[in-house]
Amino acid sequence: MIILGIDPGYATTGFGLIKADRGSYSLLQYGTVTTPPELPFPQRLNMLFEDMTRLLEVTKPEAVAVEELFWGHNITTGIGVSHGRGVILLAIERAGVPLFEYTPMQVKQAVVGYGKAEKRQVMDMTRRLLKMDKIPRPDDAADAIAIALCHARSATSLLAKKGSQG
């Protein structure tokens, strides 16, 4: 299964594309989608939508995993990220790709095995699972790869559970 992980934002959106096959994972591509800070906010959202639409067309994922927002201390930034996330969800919906959403705690649990793991633990386990020499940069892309891994590991678990019930 080809899974696109997305760490949403409006200034920088991380993405990570992985292939998951029977408990084996390989990294296909990763990076960021950015918008220029000098543009008016509505133009940045439009650029994000167009870039996400193109990314979905080019990568052709079978599933997209997006991180749910965690509201920290800066509510102004959180509102902007929420707008960006909405544009990203719209692009995914229009592309007709199945969408799955995960909280930061679910990502940590799926990748590390502990829902309150530290960021460095998630990044190191991501590196190990994908047999990489070093942790991918920037952080937004590394987070997106972890989100894709979360779906790969969760989907496999859910399929196993579903198969055993029936």
Number of structural domains the chain divides into? 1
The residue segments making up the domain with residue 23 are: 2-165
Pairwise CA distance, residues 55 & 53, whole Å: 6
Which CATH number goes with the domain that contains 29?
3.30.420.10
Q: 140 an active-site residue?
A: yes
Pairwise CA distance, residues 2 & 17, whole Å: 7
Nearest to 18 by CA among 34, 33, 6: 6
Question: Cα dist. 154→84, 90, 91, 146 in Å?
Answer: 25, 23, 23, 12
CB atoms within 10 A of CB 24: 10
Nearest to 131 by CA among 18, 32, 31, 22: 18
pLDDT score at 74: 58
pLDDT score at 70: 67
pLDDT score at 156: 60
Average pLDDT in the chain: 89
Q: 67 an active-site residue?
A: yes
Catalytic residue among 21, 57, 67, 68: 67
The list of the chain residues with pLDDT below 50 reads 159-166
Catalytic residue among 38, 118, 139, 140: 140
pLDDT score at 165: 41
Pairwise CA distance, residues 35 & 46, whole Å: 10
Catalytic residue among 7, 50, 124, 143: 7
Q: 7 an active-site residue?
A: yes
